[in-house]
Amino acid sequence: MSGRDGFIARLFRSWIPRTPRESSEAVVRNIWLHAFPARITKRSLSWLASGWLGTASLHLFIVLCLTGGVLMFLYVPSVERAYESVKDIEFVVSFGAWIRGTHRVAAHLMVVAVVLHLVRVFLTGAYKKEGAPGAHRPLNWCVGLALLVLTFGLSFTGYLLPWDQLAYWAVTVGTQIAAAAPLVGEQLRDLLLGGTVVGQPTLLRFYVLHCFVLPALTIFLVAWHMWRIRKDGGLAVADRVAEDAREQAAITPPPPGKTYTLMGTTPGGTVQASSSAGLIEQASTPSVPAVPRRTMAVFLAVLALCSVLGLLLHAPLEEPANPAVTPNPAKAPWYFLWLQELVSILTFRIGSFVVDGTLVGGILLPGVLIGALGAWPYIDKSPASAAGVWFHPSRKVQNRVFLLLLFACVVLTIIGMYFRGPYWAWTWPWGEHASHPTLT
Ligand code: HEM
């Protein structure tokens, strides 16, 4: 075959393998498929096992990188030009408003997807140490927690960039909470802001963090997270498949005292023994094309959702940032509103003495929460068989406490969004002083 024929043939060649052997070869030969194992259990593939929420989080991050890459050609990180450049993106650049809208929608959805992914992993106990030799899922859970913090960091640093009133005051509120941290709070705030107030050094720092440092760290940690999943023997639900296979093989051993035929030439009976390896084989399927197909389906769904919502939901742009005019109330980004609400609940007056809740509500409680989450895989004493199973009875109490805390965070967020008016006083969403939720 001539080189040209070979090239054309390769262009139109179907990448879909026709035999299990071709599937395994695809994993070895193709760089894009190299991340997948040769075989995967059918239960891991199921939509219900994981909701594919981790994959959706990753794809939202990819959409953010793509749209953010385009925005970087147009955005200018200077207090004189930032607002105008965003206005140009919004009103002058072709498809600018759509790209900006898609970027913002993807940022919000990523926060939601990552939190839901954490909830799924917790409720299925998928952080327990088990699986292949060398498996250590608690480590991957901690890598995941670091990714959660990075996701908040990415969203928060992007918040300031439009340099409008909303951005300026949301970041002011957020960094005021950070400044209440004991010992290092003030230094942390100064390091973030490049001074004591939000200004040009802050914008530049947030820009560098948002566009380079935090995405680079996220890429590194996501790669580590994915690699750990392979090292841990796949998803925790795959361990259940292996255990079921071992149990089934144990209850159907070869009949005792059997004599064996020699290819039918001597008398005796054939053995009907089932091995656990054979049963696992039956319960699994080649990864290619099943996993790339589902991964693509999730990516297309994520891309379509972000593009449509980016078109329909207008990304807000308020008046240019004005340090002299404080909006009342000044609200943190929505995913930090539960913290702002906690701070307000824990700030009260005893006579003329005001107890400031910033330290307890804004730093200590969330710090304890993150610390407890990080330590939980090591504290949780439920049996290994509970890993990878939704709502396993042995995990009833911890699941309930976890869901209760989650519910409290959601309620506090909703109160902060809809029920707080000027001076953080209680307001009904339909009342005179209702402030509109800032989903920005
Ligand atoms: C940027 C954020 C994150 C990305 C891109 C990500 C990605 C993924 C992906 C693709 C999977 C495979 C299963 C699935 O699709 O759901 C996975 C599994 C896992 N993730 Fe994440 N993840 C992130 C954050 C987190 C967080 C916040 C946690 C927990 C604190 C976490 C802990 C885990 C664990 C323990 C597994 C293994 C689950 C199992 O064995 O069933 N991840 N992650």
CATH of the domain at 189: 1.20.810.10
**Across residues 216-239, what is the average pLDDT?**
94
Digit-coded pLDDT (tens) for 159-175: 999 999 989 998 998 88
In a domain, 119, yes or no: yes
Domain span at residue 148 reads: 42-424
Digit-coded pLDDT (tens) for 376-417: 999 999 998 899 999 999 999 999 999 999 999 999 999 999
In a domain, 231, yes or no: yes
The most confident of the ranges 21-25, 189-193, 299-303 is 299-303
Q: Does 48 have pLDDT greater than 90?
A: yes
Pair type for strands 353-355 and 348-350: antiparallel
Mutational test site, ligand 1, from 41, 60, 117, 296, max ligand atoms within 8 Å of CB? 117
Spacing, Cα 125 to ligand 1 middle (Å):
12
Spacing, Cα 396 to ligand 1 middle (Å):
22
Predicted confidence at residue 255, as pLDDT, reads: 57
Predicted confidence at residue 174, as pLDDT, reads: 85
Question: Could you please report the per-residue DSSP string of 230-297?
Answer: HHTTS-HHHHHHHHHHHHHHHHSPPPTT--B-STTSSS-B------HHHHHHHTEEEHHHHHHHHHHH
- Confidence band of 303 (pLDDT split at 50, 70, 90): very high
Spacing, Cα 388 to ligand 1 middle (Å):
13
Mutational test site, ligand 1, from 45, 121, 218, 287, max ligand atoms within 8 Å of CB? 121
Say if residues 402 and 408 touch (Cβ distance below 8 Å).
no
Spacing, Cα 235 to ligand 1 middle (Å):
9
Tokens, residue 81: 């030009």
Query: Which ligand 1 atom lies nearest to the CA of residue 145?
Result: 30
Q: Does 293 have pLDDT greater than 50?
A: yes
Predicted confidence at residue 335, as pLDDT, reads: 94
- Confidence band of 350 (pLDDT split at 50, 70, 90): confident
In a domain, 14, yes or no: no
**Across residues 110-131, what is the average pLDDT?**
94
Among 287, 258, 288, smallest CA distance to 270 is for 258
Spacing, Cα 320 to ligand 1 middle (Å):
38
Question: Which residue, judged by its Cα, is nearest atom 24 of ligand 1?
Answer: 144
Spacing, Cα 148 to ligand 1 middle (Å):
10
In a domain, 320, yes or no: yes
Q: Please, how many CA atoms are within 13 Å of residue 282, restricted to the half-sphere of its CB? A: 11
Residue that the structure tokens 């809208």 belong to: 101
Is the distance from the beta carbon of residue 417 to the nearest atom of ligand 1 less than 6 Å? no
Predicted confidence at residue 96, as pLDDT, reads: 97
Predicted confidence at residue 405, as pLDDT, reads: 97
Predicted confidence at residue 51, as pLDDT, reads: 96
The answer to pTM > 0.75 is yes
Q: How far apart are CA 275 and CA 347, in angstroms?
A: 64
Q: How far apart are CA 126 and CA 128, in angstroms?
A: 6
Q: How far apart are CA 389 and CA 236, in angstroms?
A: 8
Tokens, residue 321: 């940032």
Residue that the structure tokens 């439009």 belong to: 162
Q: Using alpha carbons only, what angle is made at residue 72 by residues 70 and 75, rounded to the nearest 5 degrees?
A: 120
Question: Which residue, judged by its Cα, is nearest atom 43 of ligand 1?
Answer: 54
Q: Does 79 have pLDDT greater than 70?
A: yes
Query: Which ligand 1 atom lies nearest to the CA of residue 234?
Result: 40
Cis omega before residue 289 (within 30°)? yes
Q: Does 44 have pLDDT greater than 50?
A: yes
Is the distance from the beta carbon of residue 229 to the nearest atom of ligand 1 less than 6 Å? yes
Q: Domain count of the chain?
A: 1
Q: Name the CA radius of gyration of the chain, rounded.
A: 27
Digit-coded pLDDT (tens) for 178-202: 888 888 888 999 999 999 899 999 9
Query: Which ligand 1 atom lies nearest to the CA of residue 127?
Result: 35
Predicted confidence at residue 32, as pLDDT, reads: 82
Digit-coded pLDDT (tens) for 108-117: 999 999 999 9
**Across residues 258-284, what is the average pLDDT?**
66
CA–chain centroid gap for 59, Å, is 10
- Confidence band of 440 (pLDDT split at 50, 70, 90): very low
In a domain, 17, yes or no: no
Is the distance from the beta carbon of residue 137 to the nearest atom of ligand 1 less than 6 Å? yes
Question: Which residue, judged by its Cα, is nearest atom 39 of ligand 1?
Answer: 235
Is the distance from the beta carbon of residue 50 to the nearest atom of ligand 1 less than 6 Å? yes
In a domain, 2, yes or no: no
- Confidence band of 306 (pLDDT split at 50, 70, 90): very high
Pair type for strands 284-286 and 353-355: unpaired
Q: Does 5 have pLDDT greater than 70?
A: no
In a domain, 20, yes or no: no
**Across residues 254-278, what is the average pLDDT?**
61
**Across residues 90-94, what is the average pLDDT?**
96
Terminal CA-to-CA distance of the chain, rounded, Å?
58
- Confidence band of 434 (pLDDT split at 50, 70, 90): low
Spacing, Cα 151 to ligand 1 middle (Å):
13
Say if residues 420 and 325 touch (Cβ distance below 8 Å).
no
In a domain, 309, yes or no: yes
Amino acid at 347: T
Say if residues 384 and 377 touch (Cβ distance below 8 Å).
no
- Confidence band of 438 (pLDDT split at 50, 70, 90): very low
Is the distance from the beta carbon of residue 57 to the nearest atom of ligand 1 less than 6 Å? yes
Question: Which residue, judged by its Cα, is nearest atom 5 of ligand 1?
Answer: 58
Q: Which residues contact 179 (CB under 8 A, 6 or more apart)?
A: 185, 186, 188, 189
The most confident of the ranges 63-67, 333-337, 428-432 is 63-67
The whole-chain average pLDDT of the chain stands at: 89
- Confidence band of 82 (pLDDT split at 50, 70, 90): very high
Q: How far apart are CA 240 and CA 224, in angstroms?
A: 24
Is the distance from the beta carbon of residue 117 to the nearest atom of ligand 1 less than 6 Å? yes
Spacing, Cα 69 to ligand 1 middle (Å):
25
Spacing, Cα 117 to ligand 1 middle (Å):
6
Mutational test site, ligand 1, from 120, 150, 229, max ligand atoms within 8 Å of CB? 229
Is the distance from the beta carbon of residue 54 to the nearest atom of ligand 1 less than 6 Å? yes
Tokens, residue 48: 């219900």
